[in-house]
A and B are shown apart, each in its own frame.
Chain A
């Protein structure tokens, strides 16, 4: 199994390793310029973890699943392509998750805290756990949505386009998501847009719980449902083959 994992990393190193590296380097350069201009880089770090990494992961998943050059061969093999697809998806989530977790750890060591300050009175393990929800929920939601859209549209450009459009519109038009409780579970960037208001400002628990905590848990549940749907859709390989040749 380890050989298989190393082989997949060697095969898709550009998507699995180069992209998070490029994003991290760009973020570091950008925050460097902000520091030179005496501006706080906190929101840039947060946006990188909560918004940029999930979008990149979803675009890469679309390309990894749909652009398989030897899909016909996979259909003849005893090892089902859905297992290969899920392995690639797992490796991508692992790499991006590690990158987000490390970034968040480094940012925390630099004394940046994005959630309300009352959480700092919790135990260190609880603080660490709730902090991980910042990236976990959007990463899983975008990845699952990317998988399902790719399997439905059978085209990575279309699926990436739709996800990019949704990402952009949610980043700019966040008002209805905040004002409509059932829509909050669909909103991937509540920490950047609603919760983190600057280093000296801490929001109360009565606002934080429904707006952030419950909606993150709902988003995780939605992502699980979408992953299951994606797994079912991965059974229909012939459709994907048709899409690959038509694109």
Chain B
């Protein structure tokens, strides 16, 4: 069994369809977005006022980076919950043994599962972004907001999503899924949100390092030095370092997971 691109694409396509057709992922994104906009942010009127004020005072690219970063602080939390059972599920439903008898290698299946599930879970996330983006385009009267959003999404949000997806597939193999979900939510707050801590509550945290998957250093370094809501100042080089570090750790986790699955397969 060796690596084959067509097999990889086939597995990714199948995993993508399987995940994107789960009503659950759409319901989760829809319910929480509704809750955030209508209750936690004070209603659509407040959100609209905020968008208009920011567009009036900031260059469009900077505002698009702020927008992508702000939403990216909340939505990746679902990746940990919605992807945690994807690899474990194969064992629970006993499909792993059947898959082992096919021509696809463990590595190809793992990569296919990784990219298929990642892309499928990004779809509802992009749908949430798209709803607000339409309003931004309408307010700014500028279609350039769309390519600018794509640029900021790929640079700010995507490295973190690649990172958390790899961990969300790997970690539940070593602990109960529900425990992983809880630890992931705790990690997300600890590793991304502890930016404006008071001295009295100063704690060791990853949120002021380049290892922040929500993209704090990337948005500061590449688009807006001294972002108003982060209290972090980063250089473009630190932003690139942050992207590279997130991608390298993702690859390390995937390689480690692949070796572990191969070892398990050989042991049987």
Interface residue ranges, A against B (CB under 8 Å) = 14-15, 18-19, 22-23, 26, 30, 33-34, 37, 39-40, 43-44, 52, 55-56, 59-60, 62-63, 153, 155-158, 160-162, 164-173, 175-177, 180, 183, 186, 198, 246-247
B74 to chain A, nearest CB (A): 6
Note all chain A residues with C-beta closer than 8 A to B127: none
Q: A157-B85, A161-B28 are in contact. Are A169 and B185 (CB under 8 A)?
A: no
Task: Taking A164-B78, A168-B188 as given, write out 7 further A-B residue pairs in contact, using a Cβ cutoff of 8 Å, ordered by the A residue number.
Answer: A18-B179, A158-B81, A161-B78, A161-B81, A164-B77, A166-B32, A173-B41
- Bound Cα distance A19, B77 (Å): 20
Note all chain B residues with C-beta closer than 8 A to A37: 202-204
| Interface residue SS majority, chain B | helix
Within 8 Å by CB of A172, from B73, B201, B202, lies B73
4 smallest A-B Cβ distances: which pairs? A165-B32, A158-B24, A161-B81, A173-B40
How many A-B pairs fall under 8 Å by CB? Answer: 131
Q: A169-B74, A247-B85 are in contact. Are A15 and B39 (CB under 8 A)?
A: no
B34-48 CB mask vs A (1 if < 8 Å, else 0) is 011001111000100
* Cβ contact within 8 Å between A183 and B39: yes
Q: Is the C-beta of B181 less than 8 angstroms from some C-beta in chain A? A: yes
Note all chain A residues with C-beta closer than 8 A to B188: 168
Note all chain A residues with C-beta closer than 8 A to B204: 33-34, 37
- Bound Cα distance A22, B183 (Å): 10
- Bound Cα distance A217, B146 (Å): 47
Note all chain B residues with C-beta closer than 8 A to A60: 178, 182
* Cβ contact within 8 Å between B85 and A176: no
* Cβ contact within 8 Å between B41 and A59: no
Note all chain B residues with C-beta closer than 8 A to A22: 179, 183
Q: Is the C-beta of B1 less than 8 angstroms from some C-beta in chain A? A: no
A-B contact pairs, 28 of them (CB 8 A): A18-B179, A19-B176, A37-B204, A40-B200, A44-B203, A55-B185, A153-B24, A153-B27, A157-B81, A157-B181, A158-B82, A161-B78, A161-B81, A164-B77, A164-B181, A164-B185, A165-B28, A165-B31, A165-B77, A166-B32, A168-B77, A168-B185, A168-B188, A176-B39, A176-B41, A183-B39, A246-B22, A247-B24
* Cβ contact within 8 Å between B42 and A175: yes
Note all chain B residues with C-beta closer than 8 A to A183: 39
B161-202 CB mask vs A (1 if < 8 Å, else 0) is 000000000000000111101110110110001000001111
Name A175's closest neighbour in chain B (CB-CB): B42
* Cβ contact within 8 Å between A161 and B32: yes
A41 to chain B, nearest CB (A): 9
- Bound Cα distance A246, B80 (Å): 19
* Cβ contact within 8 Å between A155 and B24: yes
* Cβ contact within 8 Å between A169 and B36: yes
Note all chain B residues with C-beta closer than 8 A to A59: 178, 181-182
* Cβ contact within 8 Å between B178 and A63: yes
Q: Is the C-beta of B218 less than 8 angstroms from some C-beta in chain A? A: no
* Cβ contact within 8 Å between B201 and A169: no
- Bound Cα distance A57, B203 (Å): 25
- Bound Cα distance A176, B78 (Å): 23
Q: Is the C-beta of B145 less than 8 angstroms from some C-beta in chain A? A: no
* Cβ contact within 8 Å between A170 and B40: yes
A44 to chain B, nearest CB (A): 7
- Bound Cα distance A247, B86 (Å): 10
* Cβ contact within 8 Å between A160 and B35: no
Name B202's closest neighbour in chain A (CB-CB): A39
Note all chain A residues with C-beta closer than 8 A to B181: 59, 157, 160, 164
- Bound Cα distance A34, B200 (Å): 10
Within 8 Å by CB of B203, from A34, A176, A186, lies A34
Within 8 Å by CB of B42, from A30, A56, A62, A176, lies A176
Q: Is the C-beta of B156 less than 8 angstroms from some C-beta in chain A? A: no
Name B73's closest neighbour in chain A (CB-CB): A172
- Bound Cα distance A165, B193 (Å): 14
B215 to chain A, nearest CB (A): 16
Note all chain A residues with C-beta closer than 8 A to B85: 157, 247
* Cβ contact within 8 Å between A165 and B178: no
* Cβ contact within 8 Å between A39 and B203: yes
B20-63 CB mask vs A (1 if < 8 Å, else 0) is 00101101100110011001111000100000000000000000
* Cβ contact within 8 Å between B189 and A168: yes
- Bound Cα distance A15, B201 (Å): 30
* Cβ contact within 8 Å between B178 and A19: yes
Interface centre among B39, B77, B181, B186, by most chain A C-beta atoms within 10 angstroms, is B181
B66-94 CB mask vs A (1 if < 8 Å, else 0) is 00000001100110111011000100000
Within 8 Å by CB of B178, from A23, A160, A177, lies A160
Note all chain A residues with C-beta closer than 8 A to B200: 39-40, 43, 198
